[in-house]
Amino acid sequence: MNNIDFFSDMLTRMRNANLVKSKSVKIINTKINYSVLTILKQEGFIENFKTIVDESKKVYISIGLKYKGPKVKPYITFLKIISKPGLRVYVNYKNIPKILGGIGIAILSTSSGLMTDREARRKKIGGELLLYIY
């Protein structure tokens, strides 16, 4: 598996955990997964995350998912991968889309690291569109 596969695996696991209203989900630890989770925590989409080591010395990340209300609605209602291994999507800062009029976020991989669409526009940096989330 390459990095994009681990990244898409993380998003699929999070999506599936949200569907069954699971409190936490375990994913493989990679730099890109860790960076995306840091952004999701800052933006309030997840409760928390921490690295854990199992008996076979493999390192994983445990993600605490966030829900609201008595009906236990997930904070993450939409998660979509934009760039795929077969089709990379690049944008300059002027063409970065606003997700749901600014309610959602896009995460970009730039020359200055991973960042949200708002941060990339503010710094006037374009990059590869990784995902949309709201």
Secondary structure of residue 106 in the 3-state scheme: strand
69-84 mean pLDDT: 93
For every residue of 29-91, DSSP letters joined together read --HHHHHHHHHHHHTTSEEEEEEEE-TTS-EEEEEEE-EETTTTEES---EEE--BTTB--EE
pTM confidence score: 0.92
95-117: per-residue pLDDT in tens?
999 999 889 999 999 999 999 99
Instruction: Quote the CA–CA distance of 134 and 58 in Å, as a whole number.
Output: 31
**Site of tokens 């990339």:** 120
Q: Average the pLDDT over 12-40 and give the result.
A: 96
Dihedral pair phi/psi, residue 64, rounded to 5°:
-90, 115
- Is residue 24 over pLDDT 80? yes
78-134 CATH choice from 3.30.1490.10, 3.30.1360.70, 1.10.287.3510, 1.10.8.420: 3.30.1490.10
Closest by Cα among 66, 68, 120, 113 to 91: 120
Confidence label for 1 from pLDDT (cuts 50, 70 and 90): low
For residues 19-48, give the mean pLDDT.
Answer: 96
In eight-state DSSP terms, residue 104 is S
- CATH number for domain 1-73, candidates 2.120.10.10, 3.30.1370.30, 3.90.45.10, 3.40.190.10: 3.30.1370.30
Query: Please, which pLDDT band fits residue 4 given cuts at 50, 70 and 90?
Result: low
Q: Where in the chain is CATH 3.30.1490.10?
A: 78-134
Report yes or no: 66 and 133 within 8 Å, Cβ to Cβ.
no
